[in-house]
Amino acid sequence: MAITDTTYTGLKTDVYTYLTVPGPTQLLLSLPHWSVVTLRLETAGPVSVGTREDLSPVGSGKGRLLPANEDIRIVMVPLTRLYIAADAVQRVAIQVEPYPWLFEILNAVKGVAPALSSMLSRLLGRK
């Protein structure tokens, strides 16, 4: 089960437990908003994650190996895909959070844009 823009709105924190599928690389996340993803391998591993579709075989150096019982934080740019690969069934805890400062900046820009446009029009002599 990949977490995609149809299951995650990007405006709240979501927590999942993902069970890996042995074999080829699987799509783990593709999110529509800036997000902070925290991954924790809860079993012995090995599990590899990365932005390439060809992570298999695990440990090939094409992705990052998740250390057991340690949080790994990844900032996800919109529409970047995060893939996962494992040689056996493994349990991975996933927490997806919005990237808060981005929303603050976007809201500030939305509020300033009309005033800035009006001020520039007056400076240029346009009404």
pLDDT tens figures, 43-57: 988 999 999 998 888
Q: Write out the two tokens for 127.
A: 């009404």
Report the pLDDT value the prediction gives residue 34, as an integer from 0 to 100: 85
- Residue 124's CB is within 10 A of a number of other CB atoms, namely 8
Per cent of the chain over pLDDT 70 is: 76
CATH number (domain holding residue 82): 2.60.120.1030
Residue 44 is assigned to a structural domain of this protein:
yes
Containing domain of residue 49, as a range? 14-99
* Per-residue pLDDT band at 120 (split at 50, 70, 90): low
Give the number of C-alpha atoms closer than 13 A to the C-alpha of residue 7, restricted to the C-beta side.
Answer: 11
Residue 25 placed within a domain = yes
Closest by Cα among 52, 51, 86 to 66: 86
- How does pLDDT run across 21-36, given as a tens digit for each residue? 898 999 999 988 888 9
- Give the predicted TM-score (pTM) of the model: 0.71
Domain count, the chain: 1
Residue 127's pLDDT is what?
55
Residue 46 lies in a domain: yes
pLDDT band at 11 (very low <50, low <70, confident <90, very high): low
In a domain, 79, yes or no: yes
Number of CB atoms found within 10 A of residue 60's CB: 11
- Secondary structure of 33-59 in the HEC alphabet? CCEEEEEEECCCCCEEEECCCCCCCCC
pLDDT of 4 higher than 70: no
